[in-house]
Amino acid sequence: MAEPKTNELMEKIVSLCKRRGFIFQSSEIYGGINGFWDYGPLGAELKKNIRDRWWNDMVRQRDDVVGLESSIIMHPKVWEASGHVGGFTDPMVDCKASKQRFRADQIFFAAVVVDGKTVGYVSALESDRTTEDLQEKAETFKRKKAIQGKLELVQPKDFTEAKPEEVPLVPSPATGEPGSLTPPRGFNMMLETNVGALRDESSVAYLRPETAQGMFVDFKAIVDTGRVKIPFGIAQIGKSFRNEITPRNFIFRSREFEQMEMEYFISDEDDWQKWHRYWIDWCRNWLLSVGLPADLLSEYDHPKEKLAFYSKGTTDIMFRFPFGVQELWGIAARGDYDLSQHAKFSGAGLVYFDEASKRRYVPHVVEPAVGIDRILLAILCSAYCEDQAPDDKGKMETRVVLKFHPRIAPIKVAIFPLLKNKPELVKKAMAVRDLLRPYLTVFYDEAGAIGRRYRRQDEIGTPFGVTIDFDTLGEKPELLDTVTLRERDTMQQTRVKISELVPLLLEKIR
Ligand code: GAP
């Protein structure tokens, strides 16, 4: 069957998420609020499974990583020391005609060059076909203006690279007309609030834009507990907030999101590149373990000249979303910048004393940082699938399936009595539900034809279905106390003893 087109696919995913209770727009009954999302019953389960798995693999299964839950609002000086108050800005551009606001690095433009001469400019918002878009627009521009000569291939640049004389000539992506875009200017993305009874300069505080600073600020407290020795990591999962100029692509870039970050402290004399590579590989393998396909993942090394001055190297694990290849997980080698800054601003001695060498030093850091919402979106996009399957009358119809890895699927098993008006079947089905419930997330469904019930579970990604039929009750004596176990992806059914269900399912899910 043909693959749905990019936008069509995103529309289908967004609509399924709303229809089946994965993700809703926040405050929808009031018209929604841009950049904020709510996770419904299935979304909350899916998110929890991702969170729990990361915590288990990153913290519980390791001797060298400990967990932390720091507060969302911290002393405002934290954000001065970290550089966020001064420098956490995105370049922003306003369109004076449409009153729309864009991120400058998401507006692409190109000169329309005919026979070596610039005859105008075209622009397009970043997409996975920005260059093709600009080329088509350049051709249309030349045709409409009836310009004769050879059109050169466009050379796209983003708006942060626009020379001052180019700014008024670039058409606004909102109106298609030049002259309304402002030059890019810095826009601080920190969300502010006030703490205490007074609302003035002295009470300003910030909602954290990343969880990472909690780990640096609590470094000394954690070292003093005596449980850790370098190399070691501090991990945290929690909400972060950024006043993004252009929240977009569903939950990909939002203003409130949840991060899973880990700061791995190493000796100043250790080989940071070795640890950097180690954590890139760890993150990649972790993504594979929750079911993301290897062919949709890639790596992007940030060019040296674009790194922050303190950064030694940053590599992003990229994912091919339907709207283009985008950053999923950033792994940054941050040197001793953060601890040194906090030592300077707070006056606290954030040095580490190495017992073996009797040496004091400021540790260096390698940081894997990822957003749960982004992982969840990647999982949804790669799991969405349409195939053909017979309906109750044997006629082929389109089946929508979310092929979640059983490990992270929100519901692991659906329990179906074949008919709801047969009390013996219902009673047995409920007994099977109660047997499985302590071990797995189960969903009991007795409403409608069995084929329709299967489809409903396929669409929310439930990997297994257990049907209780007359053979379960002993109609064929040799099948007494057996059920059919249906697998979502193959739709194959096997007969299984009820007494063997729990170990069998636990094994399949692991
Ligand atoms: N402490 C480093 C840090 O926060 P970042 O690249 O700004 O680095 C890390 O963010 C990860 O957090 C990103 O790779 C992405 O997965 C997620 N993330 C960042 N901004 C986000 C947003 N506005 N919405 C959703 N996820 C976001």
| 392 vs 346, more confident | 346
CA angle, corner 292, sides to 291 and 295, nearest 5?
Answer: 135
CA angle, corner 462, sides to 295 and 250, nearest 5?
Answer: 60
Residue 185 vs residues 121, 159, 180, 188, 419: alpha-carbon distances, Å: 21, 11, 15, 10, 65
CA angle, corner 212, sides to 103 and 287, nearest 5?
Answer: 80
The mean pLDDT of 492-497, rounded to a whole number, is: 97
How many angstroms separate the CA atoms of 247 and 208, rounded?
17
Mean pLDDT (the chain) is: 95
Q: Taking Cα atoms as reference points, which of 171, 57, 161, 37 lies closest to residue 112?
A: 171
Q: Any residues with CB less than 8 A from the CB of 220 and at least 6 apart, and which? A: 348, 349, 350
Q: Is pLDDT at 392 greater than 80 in this prediction?
A: no
The three-state secondary structure class of 236 is strand
Q: Are strands 464-468 and 413-417 parallel, antiparallel or unpaired?
A: parallel
Q: pTM to 2 decimals?
A: 0.90
Q: Look at the chain and count its residues.
A: 510
CB contact at 8 A, 426 and 446: yes
pLDDT digits (tens, 9 = 90+) for 461-474: 999 999 999 999 99
Instruction: Give residue 405's pLDDT.
Output: 97
How many angstroms separate the CA atoms of 373 and 114, rounded?
45
Residues near ligand 1 (Cβ within 6 A): 210, 212, 242, 244, 253-254, 257, 259, 261, 327-330, 367, 369-371, 373-374
Q: Any residues with CB less than 8 A from the CB of 415 and at least 6 apart, and which? A: 429, 432, 433, 436, 442, 443, 444, 445, 465, 466, 468
Amino acid at 162: A
Q: Is the peptide bond before 503 cis (omega within 30 degrees of 0)?
A: no
User: Which of 51, 259, 379 for a ligand 1 pocket mutation test, highest count of atoms within 8 Å of Cβ?
Assistant: 259
Residue with tokens 């906090």: 342
pLDDT digits (tens, 9 = 90+) for 412-465: 999 999 999 999 999 999 999 999 999 999 999 999 999 999 999 999 999 999
Amino acid at 489: D
pLDDT band at 5, cuts 50/70/90?
Answer: low
Atom of ligand 1 nearest to the CA of 375: 16
Instruction: Give residue 191's pLDDT.
Output: 97
- Residue 303 CB: number of other CB atoms within 10 A? 8
The three-state secondary structure class of 238 is strand
Amino acid at 4: P
pLDDT band at 6, cuts 50/70/90?
Answer: low
6-15 long-range contacts, Cβ below 8 Å, gap at least 24? 6/128, 6/322, 6/323, 7/322, 7/323, 9/322, 9/381, 9/384, 10/249, 10/250, 10/322, 10/323, 12/384, 12/400, 13/250, 13/322, 13/380, 13/381, 13/384, 14/250
* Burial of 35 from C-beta contacts in 10 A (0-12 / 13-18 / 19+): buried
Lowest mean pLDDT among 64-73, 388-397, 399-408: 388-397
How many angstroms separate the CA atoms of 366 and 277, rounded?
10
Q: Ligand 1 atom 21: the closest Cα is on which residue?
A: 253
Q: Ligand 1 atom 1: the closest Cα is on which residue?
A: 212
- How far does the centroid of ligand 1 lie from the alpha carbon of residue 468, in Å? 46
pLDDT digits (tens, 9 = 90+) for 93-107: 999 999 999 999 999
Q: Any residues with CB less than 8 A from the CB of 482 and at least 6 apart, and which? A: 471, 472, 495, 496, 497, 498
- Residue ranges in 125-255 assigned as alpha helix (H): 130-144, 212-217, 219-224
Q: Ligand 1 atom 4: the closest Cα is on which residue?
A: 210
Q: Is pLDDT at 2 greater than 50 in this prediction?
A: no
Residue with tokens 């969880």: 211
Torsion over CA: 187, 188, 189, 191 (sign): negative
Atom of ligand 1 nearest to the CA of 259: 12
Instruction: Give residue 3's pLDDT.
Output: 46
- How far does the centroid of ligand 1 lie from the alpha carbon of residue 259, in Å? 7
The mean pLDDT of 133-147, rounded to a whole number, is: 96
Structure letter (DSSP) for residue 184: P
Residue 146 vs residues 114, 140, 255, 503: alpha-carbon distances, Å: 12, 10, 45, 73
